[in-house]
Amino acid sequence: MMFRRTLTSLPSWVVRIILIGRRQRMGGRVMDPKAQVMAEYIQLVRRPGVFPAPAESRQQLTGLIQAFEVPAPSLARKENFTIPGPAGEIPVRLYASNSAQSGVLPVLVYFHGGGWVQGDLDTHDTLCAKLSFGAGCMVVAVDYRLAPEHQFPAAVDDCMAAYHWICQNAAELNGDPRRIAIAGDSAGGNLAAVVSQQAMPSGMPLPIAQLLIYPALDFSFETESFEEMPDAFVIPRERMEWFRGHYLRNSADISDPKASPLRAQDLSGQPATMIVTGGFDPLRSEGKAYADRLRDAGVSVQYREFEGQIHLFVCVTRVISQGDICIDEMTKFLKEQFVST
């Protein structure tokens, strides 16, 4: 374990030398050397076909992020509080890149990843702080209910309620209610896409933009990238099936657009969208398919594939520096949307 952690701290050019003759390649893509080391470390600490209890899996994700993510940047405001939800109070964390005296800020509502089973405000603390700092906005991160204790559609209901509350109360937080965007990674990208689709039919304002970071968008797992990578690093098919089994109530939920937003019939009228994927992430194909469908529906879309990257790469930037390059691109997109509104 100590060797692997030491290896992750080495410069990329040294890692390339160490990996000579065994670099991961697929379809013309070559895995980023630091991503490969990170992925091999994750495989080293897991046993194929063996899954911990949900509580233990949450501790594992927390430990992984603590070990391989940098500390969050300092911000003028960082506050924890709760907001009303459909089944009780929902914990949220507010980040603001300047003081309240500096004027109202655009708002980004953020839903964390973790397979609907893992993740919380702390696992994505650094990422949310970086988004706030880089985009010059307020971020409100939402700690929705997790499965299997709370199965679908509990997470959707919490995220819808949180988005609605923030739209109604943004001004009291010193946020601009006319400039509210949504974002999320992995399972959180799924939830962000669902909230965006359901906002107007539910009588809520449409977000001005959505940022979907390697989103999970179709629970069938019948895509080209899943076929290419059944044993993918970080989220192999068996792990995705484990997440699905905990989150969904039954097989009928797979076709529900609130679970699989890629299956929504009409995507017209969706806000400007940025979708980020990794070339070695089995969720790549559904992210690309969603971008194509949005574009075909007349939506402004930026699609960005980081060809050498794995799932989770924006949350382990102590190891994978390309995660920060991605964050810079994402905050540029957000700033452009906030300014144009």
Residue 281 annotated to the active site = yes
Q: What is the mean pLDDT of residues 78-82?
A: 97
204-244 pLDDT per residue, tens: 999 999 999 999 999 999 999 999 998 888 999 999 999 99
Residue 311 annotated to the active site = yes
| Catalytic site residue from 132, 186, 196, 225 | 186
Q: Exposed, middle or buried: residue 19 (CB in 10 Å: 0-12, 13-18, 19+)?
A: middle
pTM of the model: 0.94
26-76 pLDDT per residue, tens: 888 999 998 998 888 888 777 777 899 999 999 999 999 999 999 999 999
Residue 186 annotated to the active site = yes
Structure tokens at 225: 């990238």
pLDDT of residue 42: 86
pLDDT of residue 20: 59
- φ, ψ (nearest 5 deg) of residue 90: -110, 120
**What's the topology of domain 2-340?**
Rossmann fold (3.40.50)
| Catalytic site residue from 132, 225, 281, 285 | 281
DSSP string computed for 147-170: TTTS-TTHHHHHHHHHHHHHHHHT
Domain segments of the chain: what residues?
2-340
